[in-house]
Amino acid sequence: MIKTSLPASYIPSFVKGILTQCVWPRQQSMQNDEQSRGTHVNSFWTDLTSPIVTAAINRKSHLPPDIVSSLSDCLSDCLTQDTTGIISKSIKFASLFHSFVVKYSVDIKKVQKVQLLMDVISDGYLKTFMSKSILAALK
């Protein structure tokens, strides 16, 4: 549905809107305790929202460096702050992560987020079979 109904030129705005739900509210809540931060970040990513963002990412529309950087931070934060274990075991979230690193590997390198994403996978925060594929795509 995303492929046919969302023009490629709208993908950056769409992803930026998604990041508004994930990244910027988290930054505002950083003065709160650890538990509320983790809950706030992860509450957006579900098995319903992840495939929608994956479909948008798979369009391989140009994303500005600030959006690539913010999405990298968001994916990393979601895994490292996942207190419930739901995100870390989600195949749909892993598919989103994989699509992002495959489609935007050059851009991820340009914004110097490769090591951040490799560390979050290497440290075992993502607990799906896709971890090795993601690491390979980042190298």
Query: How many Cβ atoms sit within 10 Å of the Cβ of residue 41?
Result: 25
CB-CB contact of 16 with 1 (8 Å):
no
Question: Which residues contact residue 70 at a Cβ distance below 8 angstroms, ignoring those fewer than 6 apart?
Answer: 19, 23
- Tell me the residue range of the domain where 104 lies: 2-138
The string of pLDDT tens digits covering residues 116-128 is: 999 999 999 999 9
120 compared with 83, residue with greater pLDDT: 120
Q: Taking residues 54-63, report their average pLDDT.
A: 87
CB 67 within 8 A of CB 19: yes
Cβ pair 90, 114 in contact under 8 A:
no
The residue with greater pLDDT, 13 or 64, is 64
Give the per-residue pLDDT at 14: 75
Residue 3 has pLDDT above 60, yes or no: no
Q: What is the mean pLDDT of the chain?
A: 82
As for how many domains the chain has, the answer is 1
Give the model's confidence band at 56: pLDDT under 50 very low, under 70 low, under 90 confident, else very high. confident
CB atoms within 10 A of CB 8: 12
At 12, is the pLDDT very low, low, confident or very high (cuts 50, 70, 90)? confident
What is the reported pLDDT for 39?
42
Band (pLDDT 50/70/90 cuts) for residue 4 is low
Residue 40 vs residue 91, higher pLDDT: 91
pLDDT of residue 1: 53
Residues 6+ apart with CB under 8 A from 63: 11, 12, 15, 71, 104, 107
